[in-house]
Every structure is written in C-alpha cells, then in structure tokens.
Chain A
Amino acid sequence: MQKEELIQNVGETPVAPAAKRSDSIHDDTTAKIFIASSVSYFVIVGLVALIIAAKFSMPSFLGSVQYLTYGRMRPLHVNGMLFGWLLAADMGLMFYVVPRLCGVKLWSEKLGIATGILWNAIILGAVVSLVMGWNQGLEYAELPTLLDVGVVVAWIMFGANIFGTIATRKYNAMYVSLWYAMGTILWTAFVYLTGNFATLFTTGVNQANLNWMYVHNAVGLIFTPVGLAIAYYFIPRVSNNPLYSHKLSMIGFWSLAFVYVWTGAHHMLHGPISQWLQTITIVFSVMLLIPVWAAVYNFISTMRGQWHQLRENVSLKFLMSGVVFYLLTCFQGPMHSLRAVNAIVSKTDWIPGHAHMAVLGAFSFFAIAGTYHVVPLIFKTKLYSEALANWSFWLFLIGGLGFFVTLWLGGFWQGWQWNNPAIPFIDTVVALKPVWHVRLGSGFLMFGGIITFAYNILATILGPKGEEMEANVAVA
C-alpha cells in the first residue's frame, strides 16, 4: 500500500496491526511507579475532599480534632490533588508517552525510579507537614521550604530524563505532545521558583500579585500544557484516528506560550494594583480563547466520523468530556477577567467551581483516560472491569456537573449579595447552605468515581498477567 493511500484511509482502518505485547522495547517501570502511587493518593486525598465538603454543611464536623480542622485539611486537599494525584499521574503518563513518540527507550530508567521514590517521599512529607500545621500560608505554595527544594530537585531529575529521551529521538520532526512536554518542564521550573521562593521575600500587594501569578500559572503553565500533551497523544491513539491538523496544534502551542504567562493578575482586579496591569491581564486573558479554540477545534475535528466509538470506549468518554470541560472552563476564565463580571464572582464560590472544572473536569479526566489506556498495556494484562470503568465515568461526570454548576450559580448569588451593603455578611453565609449541601452530595458521587477508578486500576495491576491471564481465558 502506498503511503499516501495509507494516510487517506487512516481514519477508517487501523494504522498498525495490534502488536504482541511482549514486543515492546519499553521497560515502563518508572511509569508504573508514578501511576500506581498517584492513583493511591487520589483515594486518600479524595477522602480529605469529602471531609472538607462535609465541614461546609456541618461546620462542627471533626472540628475539635486539631489535625482535622479546615485550615489543615484544605491545603492537604489542594496540594495532595495537585502534586500527589494529578502531577504524579501526568508525569507517569509522560514517562510512557515521550519514549514512544521518540521511538527510543527512556533515557534512564534508574533515574526515573529515583525520581519516583523522591516524589513519593515529598508527598508523604507534605501530608505530615500540612496535617501538623507547618504551612507557609500562601495559596498553592503551602509546603515548607525543605519540601519545595525537594520538588525542584525531583523536577530537575524528571526534566533531565525527558529532555535526554527527546535528545536521542529517532525522528527529527516532533509530535505536538513533545512540544507541550518540554514546555511544561521549562515553564514549571520558572513558575514553581517564583511561587514558592520569590514570594517569600516580598510583602503586601507585591506578594499577593506574585502569588496569584503563580496560582494561575500553576494551572495555565503546568497542568494545561501537560494535560494537552496527554490529550493530543491519547485522543488520536485511543480512537486510532490521526489528529485533524498538526499545524493547527502548533499554532495552539505557540499562542499558549505567548499569552498564558500574563493572565494571573486577573485575580487581583479591583484590588490595589495599577490600572495598566489590570488592563494588560484582561487583554491577555481574553486572548486565551485563541490557543483554547485551536486545541478544542482540533480535538473535535479529529473525532469526525468516529463519535460512535464513545459508546464502547471509556477512555474516549473521559477524553472528550474533558475537552468539553476544557472549553467551558477556558471560556469562564476570560469572562471572569472582565471587570464587570469580576466585580460579582471574584472571591466567591464561583472560583472553586471554575478551578475544579479545570483541574478535575478537564485535566484529571485526561489523566484518568490515559491511565485506563496505559495500565493494561504496561502491566501486560486486560482491564479488570469495563463495567466498573463505565461506572466511574458516570459517577465522575454527574458528581462533577453537580459540583461545578452548583458552585457557579451559588457564586453569582453570593456575589450579588456581597455587592448589596444592606445584607449582613452572616446572612450571605446562611443563604449558601443549600448550595453546600448539593456540593457535599456531588462530592459523594465524585468520591464514588475515585473509588471505582482506583479499585479497577489496582485490581488490574494486581490481577493475572501475560501467560497466566491467557491460561485463565483458555480454561474459561
């Protein structure tokens, strides 16, 4: 078959026949360590999230135990979800994706394993320090300095391995996921150093401004690029259908690179920062629609003629739902940066609704999809239960929607009340009680999703493998 013919037919027929799993040149030990540990942390931190949600409905719940108070549980939840679950899962998936896109083995499996051990030590240290109340008091930058240094060292080790693999690649032209992987490593280095070290040496409004640049870029320049790297790899891979346009994906990448870093100050609108800075952040926030639409249009067009696959394929369900949530959350972001909207929703429950849709609805959905796809491959087995995987999807989707929608609406309601000086503040708190009850109910559903996902993955990891599995199938 001629190459051109193959390319034309590539959407209808599998590009490559299924390879025997034993043919893989990849070791994948590092990916296994990161993925297995991140899924375990997802369960633990999910339980912490449920406790926090319960405290909104029942403020005295576990309030007499100092280690379980809101002030200690909330940073544990945030850091645990960001670094224990999501970033670790993303790193594990990068350890799987990058060598395959480069056509070579991981540069150093030993270095990868050492990175995994260090990362787990950091997460366990974070759990102890945050429960004990050792906290720097800055949003997303709560970890003590010693652990921050550990994160920097682990990130250098991760970056060396990924760049080392890319440097030894077989092919000159790099697929877009590799660009996003490299961007993530470089941007994270700068963003993390600024947020966790530079902020310690500033005061007042400058500190708040730097801190919010870090908070927004933690999502925009860490989780967004690595999340898109995963989506750009797994949407074509799982649907066995080539990406709609590689050129468009590169336009999306470079527009994100130029635009995203300037947007963090939109959390400081109407605050004591200069007007020119507020205007700049609004302009760049609205310009975010360019990279977002470039990515979303590409993903949706890739699925043209392939939507029927959603019926059977759980990974695709997570991926495409994640794309929709990505579009929605990235529409919310620019709208939130407009002065008129910001005056209502800023500092309200709308913000956690928006942040959860980005981190859970979009990027965690991408990571879950990737995990469902790669775990059976790297452990040389089959997924433990397709039915359970479907359950996890619906629990996440319904719970997530309940959570996001309730907090957006509740946030608007809260903002309108705060803007009315005739309403005492305590009345605005009492008025939000129904919203927080729905939030708790949605939390139970999402936690159900976490449990079913984690059980399915861990049962797959611990279940029969290779010849043992084939023998079981033959007996059956």
Chain B
Amino acid sequence: MTDYTYPSVYFAYFFFFIVFSGAAFFFFKTYKQGYFGKDSEEAKHRMLDDEMGGDYGRKQK
C-alpha cells in the first residue's frame, strides 16, 4: 500500500485549523450578537413554550 502519511497528517492539521478558526469566528460573532450580554436569558424562557409548536404557549398567556 502506498503510504500517504504526510498528506493525511496534513489533512488532520487542516482539520484542526478549520475547527479552531471556525470556533473562533463564530465565538466572536455570538459575542457581538449579545449571547453573553444582559438579554441573553430570553431563549431559555421561550424554549418552554415550544413543545406544541410556534408561539402557542405565549398566546395562552
């Protein structure tokens, strides 16, 4: 079997690079979008409404 160790290891390095840079990019994006701000807790209340779909629970309130 031909040994493709170097291309494969470089692929793994590329994989690490993609994962790290993707994580860094989206982390800063979420930071800018306010996921770590004072209004970041809204989603946890809204998710309790969603069992039956849409805003059914909110309409009941």
Residues of A that sit less than 8 Å from B by CB: 1, 6-7, 10, 15-17, 19, 21, 23-26, 99-101, 103-105, 170-171, 173-177, 186-187, 190, 194, 198-199, 201-204, 206-207, 210, 213, 233, 236-237, 240, 242-243, 245-247, 250-251, 254, 257-258, 261-262, 377
Please report which residues of chain B, range 1-19, place their CB below 8 angstroms from some CB of chain A when the two chains form the complex. 1-5, 7-9, 11-12, 15-16, 18-19
Determine whether the beta carbon of B42 is less than 8 Å from that of A242: no
A190 to chain B, nearest CB (A): 5
Q: Is the CB of B56 within 8 A of A250?
A: no
Query: What separation, in Å, do the CA atoms of A6 and B60 have in the docked complex?
Result: 13
Residue numbers of B with Cβ under 8 A of A are 1-5, 7-9, 11-12, 15-16, 18-20, 22-24, 27, 30, 33-36, 40-58, 60-61
How long is the Cα–Cα vector from A177 to B52 in the complex, in angstroms? 17
A242 touches B48 (CB 8 A): yes
With the chains together, A206 CA to B11 CA distance in Å?
A: 12
Is the Cβ of A100 less than 8 Å from the Cβ of B48? no
Structural contact, B42 and A190, CB atoms closer than 8 A: no
Q: Which residues of B contact A207 (CB under 8 A)?
A: 5
Closest 4 CB pairs of A and B: A16-B57, A201-B4, A25-B53, A19-B52
Nearest to A16 among chain B residues (CB) is B57
Contact status B22-A186, CB under 8 Å:
yes
A/B interface sample: 17 pairs, CB < 8 A:
A15-B48, A17-B60, A23-B56, A103-B50, A103-B54, A170-B54, A173-B33, A175-B43, A201-B3, A210-B12, A213-B12, A236-B47, A237-B47, A240-B48, A246-B42, A247-B41, A261-B19
Q: A100-B50, A190-B18 are in contact. Are A206 and B61 (CB under 8 A)?
A: no
Given A202-B4, A206-B8, A247-B40, are A24 and B47 also a contact pair (CB < 8 Å)?
no
**Contacting residues, chain B, for A202 (C-beta < 8 A):** 3-5, 8-9
Name 15 extra pairs, CB < 8 A, besides A16-B56, A100-B50, A190-B18.
Answer: A7-B45, A15-B45, A15-B48, A16-B48, A16-B60, A25-B52, A101-B47, A171-B43, A171-B46, A175-B44, A201-B7, A210-B12, A242-B44, A242-B45, A250-B40
| A10 to B45 alpha-carbon distance, docked (Å) | 8
Expressed in whole angstroms, the Cα–Cα distance for A19 and B50 within the complex equals: 10
Q: B18: which A residues are within 8 A, CB to CB?
A: 190
- Interface of B: prevailing SS: helix
CB-based contact B23/A257 at 8 Å: yes
- What's the A-B contact tally at a CB cutoff of 8 Å? 144
Is B35 touching A173 in the complex (CB atoms < 8 A)?
A: yes
Where chain A touches its partner, the secondary structure class is helix
Query: What is the CA–CA distance of A21 and B52 in the complex, to the nearest angstrom?
Result: 7
Residues of B within 8 A of A21 (CB): 52
Contacts of A194 in B (CB 8 A): 11-12, 15
Bound state CA distance, A262 and B15, in angstroms? 11
Known A16-B56, A206-B8, A242-B45; contact A261-B50, beta-carbon cutoff 8 A? no
For residue A219, give the distance in angstroms from its CB to the closest CB of chain B: 16
- Which residues does chain A contribute within 8 Å of B46, judged by CB atoms? 171, 175
Whether A245 lies near B43 (C-beta < 8 A) is no
Residues of chain B within 8 A of A176, CB atoms compared: 43
Given A23-B52, A199-B8, A201-B8, CB of A247 within 8 Å of CB of B36: yes
Chain A residues with Cβ below 8 Å from B27 are: 254, 257-258
Q: Which chain A positions have C-beta within 8 A of B20?
A: 258, 261
What residues of chain B lie closer than 8 Å to A258, measured between beta carbons? Answer: 20, 23-24, 27
